[in-house]
Structure 1
Amino acid sequence: MARLLSLSSIAAATALLASHLASAQSLPQVSVTGKATEAVPSLSGFNDPPAKLPMQALSLSAERLDDLGISQLSGITKLDASVSDAYNAVGYWSQLKIRGFDLDNRFNLRRDGLPISGETALSLVNKSGIEVLKGSSGMQAGTSSPAGIVNFVVKRPLAEDGTALMLEAIQGGTVQASLDHSQRFGANREFGLRVNVAAARLDPTLRDSKGRSHTLAVATDWRISADTLVEAEVEFNRQSQPSQQGFSLLGDRLPDAKSVDPNLNLNNQPWSLPVVFNNTHASLRVQQKLSGDWRAQAILGIQRLRTDDRLAYAYGCSAANGDYYADRFCPDGSYDLYDFRSENEHRDTTALDISATGPVQLAGMRHDLTVGGLTSQFKSRFQRQAYNYAGTGNIDGSAVTAAQPDLTDENTNRDERSNELYLRDRVDLGAGTTAWLGARYTRLHRESVRTDGGRRTDYSQGVTTPWIALSHAIASDWLVYASWGEGVESEVTPNRARYVNAGQALPALKSRQTEIGLKTGTQRVEGSLTAFDIRRPLWRDIGSCDVDLSCEHRADGYARHRGIEASADLKWSGGGLFASAMRLQARREGSIDASLNGKLPPNVPETTLKAHVRQDLLPGLQAQLGVRYEGSRFATPDNSVSVPAWTVADAGLRYLQNVGNQSWIWRAGVDNLTNRRAWRESPWQYEHSYLYPLAPRTFRTSLEVRL
């Protein structure tokens, strides 16, 4: 806890500096001009500005992402100390940790507020921003991990007509081009159209990973009257690219990252095939003003995913002097190589949300209420898959094996129906004090069955997740708050003979988060200091699990993540600073196996610092510098192997050139400026320890023309 307090002192000093900057009279006024941009909706569910909300959330605009060369969700790990990698491989879908917990790609992602599956490559081409809500997500989601919620905000037609063209090149051979066009039509400009088109030839510095991607998205709106707005949009995208196979421990030894080629892709067999993601997204939203200050909204969304998942998959070692390592490579650098193919995977999501928002007077106090309901259906359909031993690989990438594509393994189909009722209330208590209330009731039904008809499971469950907060304005631009909330996860024991409770639903496991914070927000300064405590129950197999009826799958102890976060977004004439820090104490507690208690989760750094500064050098020319530090972490759950900390610097230039009525934005950047060699992350996946290196120094450049 002393370590946490040391960061608290640093964060308090940061907040004091932000306060001084906010009140300083010598700072000139910041003036920003440009074409109108779309407003970013709040994932919190409340209409108050972020600085006035009793929670921690991050909103990242498309322009900020463009300046940093971020084109996929995993790239936001550059920006915020509480967000880190969780098995992010080139060519595959993005996976994140927030406050040390894995984001569940099945339940913790949203698109314009509606649930989607993140088990695909999600395009940012037609997104105006990304929102990250940190911590307990029970108020926003029926079932989800306690990491938080990530929301993709779709680009909509703008108030003013405009066109943007962009061309980007990245070292290695990647070339991307895109078009973003917005226009209004009609006698009163009541019809709007937004078209986004992009295509890319993917050729990163990572060898054996060439691919292609393209996106087409169309968004329309119809302003029927001042009270009624109808919006519709559809998006098609496709990505085809071989994915990256991770490295691993060599017996009990962590390989030296300086001796490993970060451009080597172990997925380099002659029979290696690309992972192919075909995605369709669409939505229809109607907003209607009601009597008084009440308004209603209905939004229907669909997602249709088609995936061919394929990999020359490295897993374990059976050639080490007769010993078998299931969770790492052999000491000599060899490993068991499998031909994995799961083709024609279907994941379909349909969701409908209806809500109404407005004020009421109760007991002499103003209540800003939102009441609503969400119904969603998810269906996954798979074929048999190949998961066949193909021979022995080697960490130097020199081994060549024969393909083994026979479909010898069963897969699992899943169906889920969820009906949710929710309520949010903001109560003005007077004297600068506000109470915030939220509750969600979820009734879910889940089924699963293997592709051969075996191992059926079928269960229903009802859960309620409350949230409450109290905030007080201690000054005009300062807010102090405290909050408490629950999240819930639901799981069924696999219907396998080894379990005495096979096929049975576990009691809903509720995570709990307590958070206290201090926030400030002005046009020039936004800052926060937050302390949080999250407890999440854990599942574990109890028993030998080597013969029938030999073990039980049940709750055993919990993960407790306590931490302190500090952040500052400072703006001054000609520049600014966006910085954050987190000190995290993540431990396992309460297990009946005492040897597990006190262990740190793998791939979770205890200390993280991230900062990006920008400063104008000449009229139109801005320099940018980013620094990221992630502390040491462990590669295995038993904490036997530590992975060293690393620091990386990124740099860039941005030049705005006015050519007649056009704006030309030239960008150039270099990631990993010093060509640092280190293990970027050490994910523990499928009971195996993997290692992913930092990408080498990479140059990028782009030109954006706004017409």
Structure 2
Amino acid sequence: MARPFLRAARSAPSPFSRLATAAWLACCTAAAAQDAPTGSAAAPAAALRPSPAASAASSAAAASAAAPATELGTVTVTGRVEPVPTVAGWGEVPLRKAPFQASVFTAEALRDRGAVRLADLVRADPGVSDAYNTEGYWDYLTVRGFVIDNRFNYRRDGLPINAETAIPLDNKERVEVLKGTSGLQAGTSAPGGLVNLVVKRPLATPLTQATLAWRERGSVLGALDLSRRFGSDQAFGLRLNVAAERLAPIVRNADGERQLLALAADWRLPSGALLEAEVEHSRRSQPSVPGFSLLGDRVPAVPDPRLSLNNQPWSLPVVMEGNTASLRLTQPLGADWRATGHVATQQLRSQDRLAYAYGCYDAATDVYYADRFCPDGRYDLYDFRSDNERRRTDAAEAALHGRLRTGDWQHALSVGVLHSRVRNRFQDQAYNYVGQGNVDGTAVTPADPTLTDVNTDRDERSTELFARDALRLRPGTTAWLGVRHTRLQRASVRTDGSRPTDYTQRVTTPWLALSQELGEQTLAYASWGRGVESEVAPNRARYTNRGQALPALKSRQLELGLKGGVSNGSDTSWELTAFELRRPAFSDLGSDCGSDQPGGTCTRQADGDAVHRGLEARLGWRGGPWSLNGGVQWLRARRKGSAIAALNGLQPTNVPARSLNASVAYAVAAVPGLSLQLDGVAESRRMVLPDNSVSIPGWARADLGLRWVQRQGDTRLTWRAGVDNAFDRRAWRESPYQFGHAYLFPMAPRTWRLSVEASL
């Protein structure tokens, strides 16, 4: 798919918007001034983020994928909390004692910041950024400067899923993001990070929670979260999540709808085993909003962000349907050991359509702008339709977890096997030139849905053997040892039967770490690990190695970290991390890599590395009614060692070198249950073109939030209100270079939101 640009047409904020923002700021300032301690300084504005050990809310006992247990209800915590990133596979090790970096976003924290999709996580973690995110399409994330692969870098309760779809958050207990190489957790995956979605399970106590939410321009959501236990000794549990939303975003011509129905159940067997099952159905139908682009060689002024270039009379919505189900059994084997079996299936069906702006031919000058729009704002428009896309992922895992002692050493062991299968089936698609559009969005062209372009079917099977050992050498010192061996078989063929490929690879990905406790609340660690990606040379005549599997792309990461905390009248947690990620790069090298005639003139081969070196710092502090959470990332990402000298030293597109997120919250003593929040996000410039000749400037944005908890008997009402981009800043938010084209996406304008949640 693709996305487009528009002329600067900044609409003046309405009198209501100006008045509402001024009133909101006055309210926050007055409340803070009334209740702040004498002589306290104003806290800096910045953006809400999940601090490593100081979130505002957390699940009291969320189940681990490796060690599932019945959840307890979500509670509000006033001190330090202990997020457990199960995505790493080390069981229930709290983040502050783990030798890696990860973020844990609880359902409560996501609701507080008004997050409705995975793309909203970029506001909450400086190490996570946009990578081609727009209305009406699935989300892409960049972690530590690398775009993570939607096909291989996503997990659901620890098992692989395909994220080439809209993923609902209504029935997710939390979202976890592991940073760095993930070869220990996934057989093949892009470097940067791994995302795990933890499903809501039946609670220990009854829950009835209804939510009604509104978001400007007119999106309305109704949701129900219901949990009950029943039977002898409350052995059976059910949890139902239902959601329906009318989508009317701030962007015009992008109205749609979505629905979710999810049911989770568990059974505490008399033997002590726990059997868990869950099913989920989701559907989203909404027109996708294309990106803008360069006008010739220049970055245009930011247009009206409410404009969509996908506004042809024949424009159709992107429809994404998903059905997912899983079954998990945990069987205790004595006091120190347990066995787990986990199976899951995911079936996706998509209708991908777009009035696709791509490149521009200027007849007056006989110049074709292949990866941007014409200087006067025109672009070539294509009718793109790929219907009945079907993607299926099946996975089954068996594992054994336990503890043992060998002499003075204590071991926390996990061994297991994961088998997965992927089957993607497509049909021919439409990709037809229908005329030229313009960045004003006023041109109208005819439709042409003729199926003229072939697609590619793909199959994959993998078997992965893994072992992990957290080896306690002496009090305070732990060696973390892990390895995964993967046998991978992949095949592809075009829908017309041409260009088949079929290959098998075996790869081994180790991971090592050493951690040392420096006092009761400080941890130092060093870790090293590998990740692997698999690629095949395109089966086209130009390639000397066409259809052949390329050597495995073995990325590697070295990470050094310090984590600590202080509790002496206030509560403080902090982290400091330095890392280096190296990912092999491939290039097409030869005398002619642009044509299949005469053939055999180009070779796809390894060509240097993408090297990302970075420093991350995080701080969480709470004292009295005030709390502060923030983080910053400095990243130096460069291409090195390429045989093409011009590539060396270049930065990747769409990756900021510096990013900041921070949040200041204040609990208003005069109004019990009321808290005010000021969030901020800031980024440095991003490159637009691979040759680094064009960039977009950095930007900063402030969001405001309010949360008020009322209790009326046994009913608790939680009111949330917020305004994103409170000062209505205009900027280019991101600049992905994808599908061979430069895209520009504007920051969303000031957007109001309001919700009420009733817990009965």
TM-score tier by shorter-chain length is: over 0.9
Q: 1:460 aligns with which of 484, 504, 514?
A: 504
Question: Of residues 151, 154, 162 in structure 1, which corresponds to 2:199?
Answer: 154
CA distance in 1, matches of 2:506, 2:586: 20
Q: Which of 703, 717, 723 does residue 650 from structure 1 map onto?
A: 703
CA distance in 2, matches of 1:291, 1:705: 42
Equivalent residue number for residue 370 of structure 1? 414
Q: Paired residue for 2:73?
A: 36
- The alpha-carbon deviation at position 226 of structure 1 amounts to 6.2
Aligned to 1:357: 401
Is 1:69 the equivalent of 2:106?
Answer: no
- TM-score normalised by structure 2 residue count: 0.88
Task: Assess if the C-alpha contact under 8 Å between 1:249 and 1:689 holds in 2.
Answer: yes
Compute the displacement of 1:341 (Å).
0.4
Q: Which residue of 2 aligns with 1:3?
A: none
The whole-number CA distance in structure 1 between the counterparts of 2:324 and 2:621 is 36
SS in 2 for 1:225: coil
What are the equivalent positions in structure 2 for 1:550-699 lying under 5 Å apart?
Answer: 550-617=601-668, 618-699=671-752
Whether 1:252 and 2:305 are equivalent positions in the alignment is: no
Change (3 A) 1:497 1:31: closer
Q: Distance in 1 between matches of 2:435 and 2:192?
A: 38
Which residues of 2 match residues 51-62 of structure 1 at below 5 A?
51-62=96-107
AA at the equivalent of 1:318? Y
Q: Secondary structure in 2 aligned to 1:569?
A: strand
Is 1:89 aligned to 2:134, yes or no?
A: yes
Provide the C-alpha distance between the structure 1 equivalents of 2:757 and 2:525, rounded to a whole number of angstroms. 42
Change in Cα spacing, 1:655 to 1:170, as seen in structure 2 (3 Å) is: same
Question: Which piece of structure 1 moves more, 222-231 or 328-337?
Answer: 222-231
Query: Does 1:538 find its partner at 2:585?
Result: yes
1:19 corresponds in structure 2 to none
Displacement of 1:619: 1.2
1:386-417 deviations in Å (ceiling 9; x for gaps) = 01101101111111100010000000000000
Report 1:72-471 matches (<5 A). Answer: 72-225=117-270, 227-257=272-302, 260-319=303-362, 321-471=365-515
CA distance in 2, matches of 1:68, 1:664: 17
Structure 2 counterpart of 1:672, one-letter code: N
Q: CA contact under 8 A between 1:37 and 1:158: conserved in structure 2?
A: no
Which amino acid in structure 2 is aligned with residue 553 of structure 1? R
Report the AA paired with residue 177 of structure 1.
G
Structure 2 unmatched ranges of 5 or more: 1-43, 45-51, 62-71, 76-82
Q: CA deviation at 1:432?
A: 1.3
Structure 1 position 225, deviation (Å): 2.9
Could you tell me which amino acid in structure 2 is paired with residue 646 of structure 1?
W
Q: Secondary structure at the match of 1:475?
A: coil
What is the CA deviation profile of residues 120-159 of structure 1, one whole-angstrom value per residue up to 9, with x for unaligned ones?
0001010011000001101100000011100000000000
Letter in 1 for 2:452: T
| Separation in 2, partners of 1:344, 1:239 | 15
* 1:497 corresponds to: 541
The alignment partner of 1:188 has SS state of helix
Q: Is the 8 A contact 2:409 2:473 kept in 1?
A: yes
> Residues of 2 paired with 1:594 and 1:615: CA distance?
53
Query: Relative CO higher for 1 or 2, CA cutoff 8 Å, sep ≥ 6?
Result: 2
CA distance in 1 between partners of 2:433 and 2:307 (Å): 22
Q: 2:524 is matched with which residue?
A: 480
1:41–1:153: 8 Å Cα contact kept in structure 2?
no
* CA deviation string 1:645-690 (max 9, x = no partner): 0000000110000011110000000000000000000001011100
Determine the C-alpha separation between the residues in 1 that align with 2:350 and 2:493: 20
- Checking the alignment, whether the CA contact within 8 Å between 2:705 and 2:720 is kept in structure 1 is yes
| TM superposition score normalised by structure 1 | 0.94
For the structure 1 residues 220 and 521, does the alpha-carbon distance in structure 2 shift closer, same or farther, using more than 3 Å as the test?
A: farther
CA–CA distance in structure 2, aligned partners of residues 457 and 571 of structure 1? 57
Kindly state the Cα deviation for residue 702 of structure 1 after the two structures are TM-superposed: 0.2
| Letter aligned with residue 559 of structure 1 | A
Q: How many angstroms apart in 2 are the aligned matches of 1:118 and 1:90? A: 16
C-alpha distance in 2, partners of 1:607/1:362?
A: 46
Given that 2:146 and 2:191 are in contact with CA atoms closer than 8 Å, whether structure 1 keeps it comes out as: yes
Tell me by how many angstroms 1:43 deviates: 1.1
Mean alpha-carbon deviation: is it higher for 162-171 or for 544-553?
A: 544-553
CA shift for structure 1 position 522: 6.8
Q: Which residue of 2 aligns with 1:27?
A: none
- Residue 575 of structure 2 aligns with an amino acid whose one-letter code is S
Gaps of 5+ in 1: 1-13, 15-21, 23-29
Q: Say which is worse superposed, 357-366 or 642-651, in terms of deviation.
A: 357-366
Deviates more, 1:516-525 or 1:36-45: 36-45
Per-residue deviation, 1:633:
1.2
Query: Is the deviation greater in 470-479 or in 514-523?
Result: 514-523
Structure 2 counterpart of 1:612, which letter? S
Query: Which residue of the partner structure matches residue 40 of structure 2?
Result: none
Q: What do residues 38-85 of structure 1 show as CA deviations (whole Å, max 9, x unaligned)?
A: 996611111211100000010000010001110110000000000000
Asked if 1 retains the 8 angstrom alpha-carbon contact of 2:84 and 2:94, the reply is: no
Match of 2:93 in 1: 48
Shift of 1:344: 0.3
Q: CA deviation at 1:642?
A: 1.3
Instruction: Tell me the secondary structure at the aligned position of residue 247 of structure 1.
Output: coil
Distance in 1 (CA, whole Å) between partners of 2:389 and 2:573 is 44
Per the alignment, residue 9 of structure 1 pairs with none
State the SS of the aligned residue for 2:283: strand
Residue 8 of structure 2 corresponds to none
RMSD (Å) for aligned C-alpha atoms: 1.8
Instruction: Write the distance in 2 (CA, Å) between the matches of 1:436 and 1:31.
Output: 27
* Aligned CA distance change for structure 1 residues 60 and 290 (closer, same or farther; 3 Å): same
**Deviations 1:311-333 (CA, angstroms, capped at 9, x unpaired):** 00111111261101111111010
How many residue pairs match? The answer is 679
> What whole-Å deviation, never above 9, does each CA across 1:553-599 have from its counterpart, x for those lacking one?
11111100000000122233434222110000000000001111000
Shift of 1:379: 0.4
How far 1:32 sits from its partner (Å)? 12
Partner of 1:665, secondary structure, is strand
The residue aligned with 1:527 is: 574
Distance across 2 between alignment mates of 1:637 and 1:599: 8
Query: SS where residue 288 of structure 2 aligns?
Result: coil
Please give the alpha-carbon distance, in whole angstroms, between the structure 1 residues aligned to 2:659 and 2:187.
30
The 8 Å contact of residues 381 and 434 in structure 2, kept in 1 or not, is answered as yes
1:467 positional shift: 0.4
CA 1:121–1:525: 2 relative to 1, 3 Å: same
Q: Shift in Å at residue 364 of structure 1? A: 3.2
Give the counterpart letter for 2:95 in structure 1.
P
Contact 2:60 2:73 in 1 (8 A): no
8 Å contact 2:60–2:74 — kept in the other structure? no
Paired residue type of 2:573: E
